[in-house]
Amino acid sequence: MATSSAGDWLVGVDIGGTFTDVVALPRAGGATRTGKVLTRSGDRVASLVTALSAVGLDWAEVGDLVHGTTMVTNAIVQGRFARTALVSTRGFGDTLAIGRQNRRYLYRLDRKPKLDPLVPDARCFEVDERCDHHGNVLRELVDSEIDELASELAAGGAEAVAISLLHSYANPAHEERLAARLGERFAYVAVSNRVNPEAREYERTATTVLSASVMPLAAGYLDSLEARKPAQARLHLFHSGGDMASPEAVRHLPLALAMSGPAAGVTAAAQVARELALDHVISFDMGGTTTDVCLVSQGRPEIASDRKLNDHPLRQSMVAVESIGAGGGSIAVYDRGVLRVGPESAGAEPGPACYGRGGSRPTVTDANLFLGYLDPDRLYGNELRLDEKAARAAIGQLAAEAGMDLRDTALGMVKVTNQAMVRALRRVTVERGIDGRRCTLIAFGGAGPMHAVAVARAYGVAQVIVPAQSSVFSALGCVHAQMGYAQQQTLRVPRQTWNVGLINDVRERLWARLAAPLLAAGFAVDELAVEETAAIRYRGQSYAVEIAAPDFSDSGRLGRDFLEQHYRLYGFATDEPWELTAIRMRVAAPRADIAALTVPPAAVSAAGGTGPCLFDRSGERMTRRCDRSALAAGETVHGPAVIEDAFSTVVVPPGASLVPDARGHLLITVGEAP
């Protein structure tokens, strides 16, 4: 490929657990480049550089690089935390140890009922201060105690410090004083009023501790990126709220990278939903390690403020992605008479047995190869050819252990995986008051289009869309990201004593905090877009109902919106007193330099003809194989068929049919299995 001058390219890179995807758009016009390479788990910066090389670019040619990563997510899942100390209000040092009364395993008395706290007693410190829930100071924090605390923390060998004082969301003054003094001696200090300015003492404290625990890891990674980055290139990180952020912002709030990659795919799916005027869609992202699903309503991803990651509370505004340990690399085992698939994954190293890199345990990818969906004669991503004999041998070991033949074992592996995905679809639809059968499934990721129709049939979804460049869709979402920040702030305003002035004061402070990094990046005030959500509940309820685009000046209308939403979600609404409990705000800088999300699919080096595939126990079916780039808009392809591009495979089973549209999206009518 011909080289380009510096800054000519806008690039999105998504580093997943198995593959690293890249999309490069030329600013001056011309062909978009896409690529997919295996992730180097020991050196993710090298994965990024390798991905750039796969599309014929040097980093010096890139003007803006938007990067999504699962680094923080993987660290939390694997328990790789820095030595962290916790500073709390006197009498609340046991907040993490007490936690909630919920048990992780209700009927397993041999398992721990809750996770061990991330901070042991020896590194929990208390300060003699107190504010009430309105922010009034009841006991002042004195400087002498701060100096004594700093010495104790240093002696305890803490690498990072988390500060979470009682009711600091209402008055952050004491936390900020502590942060300023402790920041002189510690490089990594997380402050709860910046991480999560909300009530719920346990969740706020746990989230702040989690943020502090991954701060050194995130800072080290960002330092590595900055050291490799050419001086003239600009680096942005895609965060879990669905926008991109500056490295400096992420350095202080590293939990913004939790679910970074999956959120990018959801953002791209929302764009496709808007393009096609679809009211309700479910993004279905199946990669090598996990499957991530999310509800998108009216072209907007669902946002959640109360999530868990590996059973750790994670309270911050983020795209409401439901992740399960089911991907192409998920390992199948026969466990006490039951066939199980995942969550353990073969990853990229050694990878599935069919990769020929030393893996020997059966994975979903091995099953898909054995069933005929994948082609052993193809070169995937210009670097990987699949070994059918190795896949057969791996599945054979499992079949022998289970007492089944190879065909039933491979079909069983795929069916078990699909049912796990169906359960995930129910969690993001039925539990949010949406009939999932009326949604459209947008399938992407390396393995998503292979499983999408079968999953849709099992759940009752009638249509599946495989978007253009489905296998690198998260990287495409990175390219099209806006720069923006979001946060939720606790605010208690009863309907009976509605106070518009108080509400507007909180909104102004929240706007100033979120707009600051955008203004520092050079955006003007009139360029910024603001979105708000109100959290409302009946007095005494534990959790609130969210109202989008609220009119805070009209409490009557807001109350009616609340009753309608409560009825839709729970089937009832009453005239009991209600209150505004929180405001969530997103401030973003809309972009005008990206026109469309569509990128033509890359051609396959060799595609065509027919081959045998197994779809059920009835036996092999001769199946048409064709190159996706050769399909004409409006052409109908009836199943069984396998559609291939350079990086992914779309399976159209018997009874289903496919029609490409002018944008390059594949519209699949699911139909019924014969």
Flag whether pLDDT at 1 surpasses 50: no
Cβ atoms of 210 and 315 closer than 8 Å = no
CB 20 within 8 A of CB 55: no
Q: Which of 29-43, 248-262, 365-379 has the lowest mean pLDDT?
A: 29-43
> Measured between alpha carbons, how far is residue 217 from residues 61, 309, 572 in Å?
28, 17, 47
3-state per-residue secondary structure call for 315-360: CCCEECCEEECCCCCEEEEEECCEEEEEEEECCCCCCCHHHCCCCC
pLDDT 10s digits, 353-405: 999 888 899 999 999 999 999 988 887 766 678 999 999 999 999 999 999 99
Query: What pLDDT score was predicted for residue 604?
Result: 54
Higher-pLDDT residue of 173, 568? 173
Find tokens 């504010």 and name the residue: 131
| pLDDT tens figures, 90-146 | 999 999 999 988 887 788 888 888 888 999 999 999 999 999 998 999 999 999 999
Q: What is the mean pLDDT of residues 216-226?
A: 91
C-alpha–C-alpha distance, residues 83 and 156, integer Å: 10
pLDDT per position as a tens digit, 15-24: 877 788 899 9
Identity of the residue numbered 160: A
Q: Where are the beta strands (DSSP E) in 471-549?
A: 483-494, 529-538, 545-548
- In this structure, which amino acid lies at residue 302? E
Weakest-pLDDT range from 1-5, 78-82, 302-306, 452-456: 1-5
Per-residue model confidence (pLDDT) at position 514: 93
Q: What distance in Å separates the CA atoms of residue 343 and residue 353, rounded to the nearest whole number? A: 17
The proportion of the chain whose per-residue pLDDT surpasses 90, expressed as a percent, equals 56
CA angle 29, 33, 34 (to 5 degrees): 150
Of the candidates 550, 476, 539, 464, the residue with the CA atom closest to the CA atom of residue 507 = 550
Does the pLDDT at position 597 exceed 50? Answer: no
- DSSP output for 119-158: S-GGGEEEES-EE-TT--EEEPPPHHHHHHHHHHHHHTT-
Least confident piece of the model among 47-61, 278-292, 373-387, 558-572: 373-387
Alpha-carbon distance of 549 to 570, in angstroms, equals 21
**Who contacts 57 (Cβ-Cβ below 8 Å, separation ≥6)?**
4, 9, 11, 24, 33
Task: Copy the structure tokens of residue 604.
Answer: 């396959």
* 659: enclosing H helix or E strand: strand 657-660
Q: How far is CA 56 from CA 12, 87, 232, 448, in A?
A: 14, 50, 19, 27
C-alpha R_g of the chain: 26
| Residue 608, Ramachandran bin (φ over 0: left; ψ between -120 and 50: alpha; else beta) | left
Question: What does the pLDDT read at residue 31?
Answer: 79
Residue 45 class from Cβ within 10 Å (0-12 exposed, 13-18 middle, 19+ buried)? middle
Over residues 611-635, the mean pLDDT reads 91
Which three-class secondary structure state does DSSP give residue 393? helix
